[in-house]
Amino acid sequence: MDLYEHQARELFARYGVLVPDAEVADTPREARDAAERLGGRVVVKAQVKTGGRGKAGGVKLAVDPAAAELTARQILGMDIKGHTVRKVMLAQPVGIETEFYVSYVLDRTAGRFLAIASAEGGMDIEEVAATRPRAVARIPVDPDEGVTASKAAKIAAAAGLPPEVAPVLQQLWQVLTQEDALLVEVNPLVRCTDGRILALDGKVTVDDNARFRQARWGAYASDQQTDPLEAAATAKGLNYVKLDGEVGIIGNGAGLVMSTLDVVAGCGARPANFLDIGGGASARVMADGLSVILSDPAVKSVLVNVFGGITACDSVADGIVQALESVRLTRPLVVRLDGNAAARGRAILDDRAHPLVHQATTMDSAARRAAQLALTV
């Protein structure tokens, strides 16, 4: 479960990380009242689970309570990468001297955590890593060892961070481990003109598998603003997660779907969703999946990637053909069938000969075709 920024900040404060005073508002009037309590001049920040809020106009400075009310009115209801803003956070502005980036993330492949830090915070860390890779330090962290004072000092030194950041690195490690988190990120972590080290923004992803021992997560879950498409998919019993891309993805098996996302991204396009239909590729499941994905206006093409096992590919093809009778296909659909009864499945789709259905025999060629179709629409 991803937390909102204001929830992440609450966790940070619980473990001793300094954050500016802030309040959350649901309405412009609440924003005005909050600004008055915070001293008048505030930063108004959209509360959505996606990046790029500043570029989208979701983060603005308001000079007084009246301006805070007007700014909140402008931000509330905005669409930021498919996420509707229903809450804003108002925070006291601070005098910034230097900005840093710090995070901990689970490295599943290596069976450990990874500390990622940079002295160039406040901007897209992916851009920094791509253009100046030496500016980003990646330090493995043994879960058994943890982030001791010595380890924190090594992380800070490797990233070129001042020594006074090291205690904050230890505090953030406590957030990660005590809260069963998979990701803890602060961008930017700042040194203020008065010397304080503050977290101005925060991202935390907690592991749903630990829900049984984290009682207070109930409050976080009740505050989640469910994406309408995710809600619709849940109502249909689909394992769907909305992403910020243009290629819709349907696959059978979480591993295959994750691989498909990576291959599509490698072709220069962005996946629009994660949708795992598991072993059930019936006509109803395919129709429900296509219906949800095609309801996303950002989707420009759809890729169905299925490896036939217990559910044979001819059954999947039958499901797609029957689904096309109930779902109006308005965007190109690329289908890759492999495994059990793949040849029969391809023949069924060939016989249907829908003008918007394209077939590919490999995952790479299917991803390239779906990306090409999405990027040329």
Q: Which residues contact 36 (CB under 8 A, 6 or more apart)?
A: 65
Any bridge partners for residue 337, and if so which? 306
Task: Please say whether the dihedral angle defined by the alpha carbons of residues 163, 167, 172 and 177, taken in this order, is positive or negative.
Answer: positive
> Which burial class, exposed, middle or buried, applies to 138 when counting CB atoms under 10 A from its CB (0-12, 13-18, 19+)?
middle
Residue 349, token pair as written in the block = 């789709």
Residue of 4, 5, 101, 120 marked active site: 101
Residue of 23, 185, 220, 246 marked active site: 185
> Which burial class, exposed, middle or buried, applies to 372 when counting CB atoms under 10 A from its CB (0-12, 13-18, 19+)?
middle
Is 240 considered catalytic here?
A: no
Cα separation of the two ends of the chain: 33
Amino acid identity, position 179: E
Q: Which of 340, 334, 268 is nearest to 305 (CA)?
A: 334
Is 185 considered catalytic here?
A: yes
Q: Which of 298, 223, 190, 200 is nearest to 2 (CA)?
A: 223
Task: Please say whether the dihedral angle defined by the alpha carbons of residues 125, 54, 103 and 218, taken in this order, is positive or negative.
Answer: negative
Q: Which of 177, 200, 19 is nearest to 101 (CA)?
A: 200
> Annotated active-site positions, please?
101, 185
